[in-house]
Chain A
Amino acid sequence: QLQLQESGPGLVKPSETLSLTCTVSGGSISSTSYYWGWIRQPPGKGLEWIGSIYYSGTTYYNPSLKSRVTISLDTSKNQFSLKLNSVTAADTAVYYCARHPSMTTVTLRYWGQGTLVTVSS
């Protein structure tokens, strides 16, 4: 059974870089059949797609976050990562990683449990 698990610091200072990792078990991130994405949810608010990556390293980003986001793969560890720079309080959210089968059909079938990141000094 596929499982995804987010990890990283729960507290980040304003203007610094938020870094999270998603560890995948029960499946390979090198599969040609899937894309790996990040979604966030500010406390009490809705979901926002941040971006996704394919096994080849091709990335796709939300235009509103593109200038601050980098998503990368580490196939040796079966992990993919998110970096969001120049964070502010508005970036405080639960961050989820997820798997989807294409960059058109929005079928986010497998999700991690989510990790809360608070931006505060």
Chain B
Amino acid sequence: QSALTQPRSVSGSPGQSVTISCTGTSSDVGGYNYVSWYQQHPGKAPKLMIYDVSKRPSGVPDRFSGSKSGNMASLTISGLQAEDEADYYCCSYAGSYTFIFGGGTELTVL
């Protein structure tokens, strides 16, 4: 199992939209609709933002959305706000009752 591939960093200005990609294989991202996304601020535990590719837990703003095409999942944040600056991680079911995370993406709000 190799970690899912995410860009090291992305950035955007307040009010803009950014998209973070998460690339895997047909054995993980592409094989199942079980991708989740986590936001992590420095020194804090990760927070679930999206699950089952595109579902939002209660309390997560609808500015956050998820999608998937083939072996790549994406997290889009629209109307960027300063508090969105954080690290973001994708996670996928990888078969045989195992999970795999992405390497993480640092989002900077300019």
Contact = CB atoms under 8 A, between A and B. Distances in A.
Q: Do A and B bind each other?
A: yes
A121 interface: no
A105 B51 contact: yes
Query: Main secondary structure on chain A at its contact with chain B?
Result: loop
Contact of A107 (B51, B89, B92, B103): B51
A105 B101 contact: no
A76 interface: no
Given A46-B103, A47-B89, A105 B52 contact: yes
Contact of B91 (A45, A63, A108, A114): A108
B63 to A, nearest CB: 19
Interface string A97-115: 0000001111111011110
Interface string B69-110: 000000000000000000001011100011111111000000
A48 interface: yes
Nearest to B102: A46
Given A106-B92, A108-B91, A109-B57, A47 B104 contact: yes
A105 B45 CA distance: 20
A96 B89 contact: no
Contact of A48 (B38, B46, B92, B101): B101
Interface of A: 39, 45-49, 60, 62-64, 96, 103-109, 111-114
Interface of B: 1, 3, 32, 34-36, 38, 45-48, 51-52, 57, 89, 91-93, 97-104
Given A62-B1, A105-B52, 12 more contacts: A45-B104, A46-B102, A46-B103, A47-B38, A60-B97, A62-B99, A104-B34, A104-B97, A106-B34, A106-B93, A107-B52, A111-B47
